[in-house]
Chain A
């Protein structure tokens, strides 16, 4: 079903944000269809295993379009998480504060 935890999380984010009215399911399906079509047009046929990568790209784009966040904030936060991993000792939970402190 979900091959990795991030896929489940990306899935749940789209479902929940839509349920809460941040976008309609129709808008979501259109955004996802756009990503899938763009990938096919780039000549990247998918056996279905890359599906959630397109899902995540669609979600990032849609929340940006809806003004919930912006690409710069996403990039900065992603780097902060990578930093947090690098600064967290083995076996300890990775928390964002590890990068911010």
Chain B
């Protein structure tokens, strides 16, 4: 969703929206005193206060903020992680490098690098299923998955995944046989994980690009499996 962007400190569009709402509230009233704008939400005012003060003091450049938002809204996302996973499935030597030094392997593909974080890929096998969480806040492999889904940031997911991973996975639609060991990886500010899902059966003849289309965000979090077709797993 591209709701955001644009000069946050000059909000003509927001103002017009507020104006429309207010006109509805005031019916057809033409009193000039009512032609001014309703203040936006408390959150909006607080962010505007913070940003305008920091910009004034030269601590931050508004264009640099725009660039950050553009990066996260338009450039980073699970399509990047999916390409990394598809490469690992297609190229055994790359897979070994990915598991041995995840950052270097991702950089090799021209991706990666945020907040000096270290990234570690954990491999699913028929015996082991991995799932990632951040129990303290919402640390997440941004550079390859973009920003996390809302449920990843929920109190329930953060608190319950470590205690009852099977139960959480079940609720998210992933049933695992008893014999499969579930490993939970708790991300931190400087160490983030990505799951290398199992390659689905029957995909031997697919190209790397076709394979990438099978890798969902949820599969790389570890709450789903990579699907043998495009269907499923993108909830």
Closest residue of chain B to A60 (Cβ to Cβ) is B50
Please determine whether A74 and B46 come into contact, CB atoms closer than 8 angstroms. yes
Closest residue of chain B to A29 (Cβ to Cβ) is B189
Q: Is B35 an interface residue (CB 8 A)?
A: yes
Distance in angstroms between the alpha carbons of A10 and B138 in the assembled complex = 15
- Least Cβ–Cβ distance between B7 and chain A, in angstroms: 8
Q: Which residues of A contact B68 (CB under 8 A)?
A: 11-12, 15-16
- Least Cβ–Cβ distance between B98 and chain A, in angstroms: 23
Please determine whether A1 and B45 come into contact, CB atoms closer than 8 angstroms. no
Distance in angstroms between the alpha carbons of A81 and B11 in the assembled complex = 11
Closest residue of chain B to A76 (Cβ to Cβ) is B49
Q: Which residues of A contact B97 (CB under 8 A)?
A: none
Distance in angstroms between the alpha carbons of A15 and B73 in the assembled complex = 14
Please determine whether B136 and A93 come into contact, CB atoms closer than 8 angstroms. no
Total residue contacts A-B, CB cutoff 8 A: 211
A11 touches which one: B16, B59, B72 (CB < 8 A)? B72
Total residues of chain B contacting the partner, CB 8 A: 70
Q: Which residues of A contact B15 (CB under 8 A)?
A: 85, 88, 90-94
Binary flags per residue of B25-63, CB closer than 8 Å to A gives 1, else 0: 000000000011111110111111111111001011100
> Ordered nearest first, which 4 A-B pairs have the shortest CB separation?
A29-B189, A48-B150, A90-B19, A77-B49
Q: Which residues of B contact A (CB under 8 A)?
A: 1, 3-6, 8-12, 14-16, 18-19, 22-23, 35-41, 43-54, 57, 59-61, 64-66, 68-69, 72-73, 115-117, 136-139, 146-147, 149-159, 188-190
Q: Which residues of A contact B (CB under 8 A)?
A: 1-13, 15-20, 22, 25-26, 28-30, 32-33, 36-37, 40, 45-49, 51-53, 56, 59-60, 63, 68-69, 73-75, 77-78, 80-82, 85-96
Q: List 21 A-B contacts (CB under 8 A).
A: A1-B146, A4-B41, A5-B6, A6-B8, A6-B46, A13-B54, A15-B68, A17-B60, A18-B115, A26-B189, A33-B136, A45-B155, A56-B43, A59-B50, A74-B46, A77-B49, A85-B40, A88-B15, A90-B23, A94-B37, A96-B9
